[in-house]
Amino acid sequence: MLAVTDLVVRYGQTTALHGVSFAVNRGEVVALVGPNGAGKTTALKAIVGLVTPASGSIEFDGATIVKHKPENLLRRGISLVPEGRHIFASLTVVENLALGAATRADRRAAKKDVAAFLDRFPALGRRRRSQAGKLSGGEQQQLAIARALIAQPELLMLDEPSLGLAPLVVDQIFGVVSELRDAGTTVLLVEQNATRAVELADRSYVLRTGEIVLEGDSQTVLNHEDFLASYLGVAAGAPGAPVASGVPAASGEVTA
C-alpha cells in the first residue's frame, strides 16, 4: 500500500535520510524504530508532505505522493498522529474530533462517529466539553489517535505515541494500537520504545543515522544481534550492511 524507495532528505547541508526504503502492506502493522535522531520523524514528514525529499520515491496505492500537500494526503487516506500529540489545546475534546471528521463527505455519519469515539474512549467521553489542553498526557494521546482515526484513514501513522507518558499510560496506548491491529487497520508505528513496538508489529525496520540497518519480521528483528547494538550505539559492521534474512524487502510490492 505504501512504498518508500531510496528516500533521501536533506536539511540544508545535513542529510537526514540516506536512501531509505521500506514498505507497508494493507492490514499490516509495521514498526519503524531506532534511536533518537535516526530520521524516523523525518521519514514520516516526507510521507505527509511536510518536508520535500531530495530524491527517491514515495508511492501510495501505486501513485506517487511526493510533493503533495499535507491536507490532500489526508483526503487520500493517510493520517499522521504527530510526535508530541499536537492536539488543539484551546479547543474542546468534541471540537478536536469534529475537526478530524471535517474531511468526511457524509456529515451525518461523521457526527455519529464523533459520538461513537466518545464511547470508545471513555476518558474522552467524560471530558467532552473540556479544553483539550486540560487533559492528561495519556488522554491527549488518545484524543490525537481518535482525531486521526475519525477521518477513516487507510493508513494510520503514529509518531512516538508513548513519548513522555507514564508506564501505565504507555500500556494503555499500546493497548489501543493492538486493538487497531486486531481490527485490521494498517498502521505504521514509529517508536523509540523499540522492543514493545517490534513485539506488537508484524514486521519491523530499524533505522540508525538515516539508514535502515535491519529489517524483517518481529522474531527475526528481536533476536538479531544488531537490534540491541543499534540501541547501544555500537557500530556492528558497516552502516547498513547486515540485513536480516526474514522477510524480503517489500519495497516494490504494492497491494492495490
Partner 1 sequence: MNGFLQGVVDALALGSLYAIFALGIALIFSVLKMINFAHSELVTIGAFVLILLADVPLIIRILILVVVVVGAAVLMERVAFRPVRGAGQTTMLITSFAVSYLLQNAAILIFGPDLRSGSVWSVLNESFMLGPVRILNLNALTIVLTLVLLVALTLFLRKTSIGLQMRAAAEDFTTARLVGVKANRIIAVAFGISGLLAAIASFLLTAQTGVVTNTIGVQVVLMAFVATILGGMGSLSGAVIGAFVLGAVSVILQQLLPLELRPFRDAFLFAAVFVVLVVRPGGLIVTRASRARV
Is residue 34 a contact residue for partner 1 (CB under 8 A)? no
Beta carbon of residue 54, minimum distance to partner 1 (angstroms, whole number): 17
# binding residues, partner 1 (CB under 8 A)? 25
Beta carbon of residue 157, minimum distance to partner 1 (angstroms, whole number): 10
- Which residues inside 121-150 make contact with partner 1, applying CB under 8 A? 133, 147-148
Nearer to partner 1 among residue 46 and residue 221 (C-beta)? 46
* Selected range binding partner 1 among 4-12, 17-25, 65-73, 112-120, rule: CB under 8 A: 65-73
Calpha distance 110→207 (Å, rounded): 37
Is residue 166 a contact residue for partner 1 (CB under 8 A)? no
Is residue 111 a contact residue for partner 1 (CB under 8 A)? no
Is residue 82 a contact residue for partner 1 (CB under 8 A)? yes
Sole binder of partner 1 in the list 103, 152, 195, 255 (CB under 8 A)? 103
Give contact residues for partner 1 (rule: CB under 8 A): 48, 50, 69-71, 74-75, 79-80, 82, 86, 88-91, 95, 98-100, 102-103, 133, 147-148, 151
